[in-house]
Amino acid sequence: MRVAVIGDGMKSLVTAGLMASVGNQVIVFNSTNTDCELLMEPGLANLLTEQHSSGRLNYLSEIVECELDIIIITDVSPIESYAQFKMELKNSVINGATFVILTPSFIGESEQLELEINEISNSAKVCCVPLLIREGKAISDFSRPDRIILGCDDAQVLTKVRELFYPFNRVTDVIKVVKTREAEFSCFAGNAMLATRLSFMNEMANLAERSHVDIDIVRECIGSDPRIGRDYLYPGCGYGGKALAENVERVARELRLRSDDLGLLDVVTKINDRQKDLLFRKIWSFFATELKGKTIAIWGGSFKPDSSNIDRAPAIVLIDALLAQSANVVVYDPSANEKIKHHYSNNQRFRIAPSAYAALESADVLAICTEWREFWSPDFDKIAESLNYKAIFDGRNLYSPDLLRKYQIRYFGIGKGEVI
């Protein structure tokens, strides 16, 4: 198929690379990020290089008139993108091209885009296939999906879009066909459920801490219940990332329009905002509210492992709070160092460390904000020797309090370890 991808983000590049890898002729329109931090997504740079070399993948900084079978829009507003490039897409619309929205912005967006397109021709249709991929695992999530939610209101177009996604649906049919509105709603509701689950576990962790209960034991107990399951029951210092927060806010905004809304998702967001302050409050209490001149080492700055994205990351909230109290901050992140360095380039009390152990030099305590694999089993002897106060504030519950006692390291986790 002749496929165009309109967008300027990680999802658009992953989509373009993988669509080209299965034999489609793909053009990426409006993309300026092919040589930036987006390529830090594992495997993406190699994928794009291979497909560009094969001739199946090409980049254009602006849309030109060409015949297209599929027009995929992701990472940008479909309505605004179509309005911007209506004339360039006119021939494709007249000849019945199918628009596929991968990142919906609101419920009813597919229908609204189709109304806009119908001003030129009724032959072009719009589908919504929410792209359910995670940073750090985007290529495997796209190429081996657990499910493909295919929102489509036209039987003929459904066959065409099924063909487009067939290479990623060969072993087991994971396509769930729904209407476009249902696909859009499922995208937002899924994110809202995930955020609710995470915030609920954080509330339970805070209660467990006050009740002198180890939340990890509780997590294992309730996770063994098949009605609940084990996934996303890990408490921590809050969730981050732009997509999750924005999708939760979209659903919350819709709920606020109802007269009987009880504010569930508003509370979920408030819990998460409060959770991002938790490590700071623990450190602040540990030093009896006097942080001036103290040096805090932080492992992990990205909002999740295998990503360089610091958008709404808990580490940024912690760093801001520490610097506001005149503390010194040293951060190490395997992927996001440069972004964090740029973010705090004008602050003399902030610096980046080249390695995890370099961050500990002259540090008073250690805080962990991202569960990068290289932090899972560190040299605790080295940590104990480096830290002036021999204390770890673990925002991801990576370690066992019993283990750290052997090294005479005080441990403050989320719902486990010492209470402060």
Residues that constitute the known binding site for substrate: 232-236, 240, 304
Residue 129 token pair = 């296939």
Q: What is the DSSP letter of 167?
A: G
- Angle subtended by helix axes 264-276 and 180-210, to nearest 10: 50
Contacting residues for 141 by C-beta, under 8 A, at least 6 apart: 132, 133, 134
Do the Cβ atoms of 368 and 346 come closer than 8 Å?
A: no
* Cα–Cα distance, 144 to 168 (Å, whole number): 6
* Cα–Cα distance, 130 to 185 (Å, whole number): 10
Other beta carbons less than 10 A from residue 71's beta carbon: 28
DSSP string, 384-409: HHH-SS-EEEETT--S-HHHHHHTT-
Burial 295-312 (b: 16+ CB within 10 A, else e): bbbbbbbbbbbbbbbbeb
Residue 219 token pair = 């997590």
Amino acid at 164: L
Helical spans, DSSP H, in 35-108: 44-54, 78-84, 90-94
Task: Of 415, 403, 381, 379, give the one whose Cα is nearest residue 279.
Answer: 415
Residues in binding site for NAD(+) = 135
Residue 172 token pair = 């087991």
Do the Cβ atoms of 318 and 341 come closer than 8 Å?
A: no
State the distance between the two ends of the chain, measured CA to CA, in whole angstroms: 61
Residues in binding site = 135, 232-236, 240, 304
Contacting residues for 114 by C-beta, under 8 A, at least 6 apart: 99, 124, 125, 126
Strand partners, 100: 72, 127
Cβ-count burial of 417 within 10 angstroms (0-12 exposed, 13-18 middle, 19+ buried)? buried
What are the C-alpha distances in Å from 373 to residues 344, 359, 396? 25, 17, 12
Using CA atoms of 84, 48, 37, 331 in order, give the dihedral in degrees to the nearest 10.
Answer: 150
